[in-house]
Amino acid sequence: MAINRWMTAASVVAATAVALASPAFAQDLKIGALMPMTGDLSAYGEADLSGIQLAAEEINNGGGNVEVIVADTQTNPQAGVDAAQKLVNVEGVHAIVGALSSGVTIPVATSVTSREGVVQISGASTSPTITTLNDNGYLFRTVPSDAFQGIALAKLVNEKGVKNVSIIYVNNAYGQGLADAFEKAYTGEQGGTVSEKIPFEQGQASYRGEVQRADSGDAEALLLIAYPENGTVILRQALEGGHFDKFIFTDGMKAPEVIEQIGAQYMNGSYGTVPQSPESAGLKAFQEAYEQKYGEVPPLPYIDTAYDATMLIALAAVKAGSNDRTAIRDALVEVANPPGEKVGPGEYAKAVELLKAGTDINYEGAAGSQDFDENGDVPGTIGQWSFEDGKIVDGSIIEVN
């Protein structure tokens, strides 16, 4: 079924929105949701959009006036740039949440948002390249860099007793950055060996050549840095050819579709890493609100970080007293970072009252502290997860320096 790439807020924000806008802004605050509703990351697009929807509903019920406009990146850089241009120049959004893939977020930032002066907050793009990107201060993220995930994954693999791996990674900013970060930590501090390190292009019918190359050394396991659509093809061909039976993943393959398409018996015991929210009152409040609106929280990453990004944009607009794009950018750090009274998920109305009274706030999100540094990066924690008996099971936080 074809999906309309452009959906108005009527389809994504509940009709329970309060009619009167917050005194902080006279017009609707337009937030663009730049999501992969189709393509290789479509498994995550709808789920992450639900986090944005939940935040928008809470903002509107708390006296705000937010309109969310959804654009489909198709998990494609050029399509993402085109979608962002329409959000900015046609729809007139004041800020953007997205994209998910670093390979889309980076060209959107360099070609659209940094040039047009529009805040862009990604809740999922983890490439280390983003840290030093020339974005004129308009690009932020509510998820930690893969510089940390690579170190955590290397430590986990070593602790599992695996001393030699081959890597197959998606050939974009996400895959390259994470593969490099893992290799550096694994062959360095952890003393492991990487037999092969092989990029792959999305959308191929077969990856048998890449799989055969990966199996040419003494690798005990295959580290697959991919997204479900192409990743499942690689897994199937690795299993069919008898090349590997032990698999390691990152956040991009943490999806039920992997089990559904490959089979629980083949994935049982496979494991990986993902940016993971620490236990906190904010996370609990978010989970309870999500379950009340949608039911069980799906075992997919970045729903909480998308929620936090949306909340931060709305609070920054209140702090700025304006929907001006640059004013929102300049106020983001003021509402996200200490000092200030801590507010969290479900506390939009409280936060607005504090800001109106001239009290500084410090937003502590569903995904943990969202304290932006000079590069728009946040600290974060990395957790482990695994496929067990046909289910995705979250594990403990991995302690890294």
C-alpha span between 278 and 328 (Å, rounded): 28
> What does the pLDDT average to over 52-77?
98
What does pLDDT average to over the chain? 93
Query: What per-residue string of b and e applies to 293-312 under the rule 16 or more CB within 10 Å gives b?
Result: eeeebbebbbbbbbbbbbbb
Nearest to 115 by CA among 92, 139, 91, 90: 139
pLDDT at 376 over 60: yes
Residues 6 or more apart whose Cβ sits within 8 Å of residue 336: 312, 362, 363, 370, 371, 372
Query: pLDDT digit string (tens) for 147-202?
Result: 999 999 999 999 999 999 999 999 999 999 999 999 999 999 999 999 999 999 99
Domains of the chain: 6-145+279-369 (3.40.50.2300), 147-275+382-398 (3.40.50.2300)
Cβ proximity of 375 and 132 under 8 Å: yes
Q: What mean pLDDT is predicted for residues 244-263?
A: 97
Q: Per-residue pLDDT averaged across 18-41, rounded?
A: 73
**Contact predicate 267/388, CB 8 Å:** no
| Contacts (Cβ under 8 Å, ≥6 apart) of 122 | 97, 98, 99, 100, 102, 105, 130, 139, 140, 141, 142, 143, 309
Question: What type of residue is 49?
Answer: L
Per-residue model confidence (pLDDT) at position 6: 34
Under the phi-then-psi rule, with left for phi > 0, alpha for psi from -120 to 50, and beta for the rest, what region is 165? beta
Give the mean model confidence (pLDDT) for residues 311-318: 99
Q: Which two tokens stand for residue 58?
A: 């809470």
Cα 267 off chain centre by: 24
**C-alpha span between 59 and 87 (Å, rounded):** 21
Least confident piece of the model among 23-27, 113-117, 119-123, 170-174? 23-27
pLDDT at 3: 30
* pLDDT tier, 7 (very low <50, low <70, confident <90, very high otherwise): very low
- The Cα–Cα gap between 399 and 401 comes to 7
Residue-wise pLDDT for 198-225, tens only, equals: 999 999 999 999 999 999 889 999 999 9
Nearest Cα neighbor of 174 from 224, 140, 126 is: 126
Write down the pLDDT at residue 217: 83
Question: So what's the pLDDT on residue 45?
Answer: 96
Reference 147, options 132, 163, 165, 169; nearest CA is 132
Give mean pLDDT, residues 221-237: 97
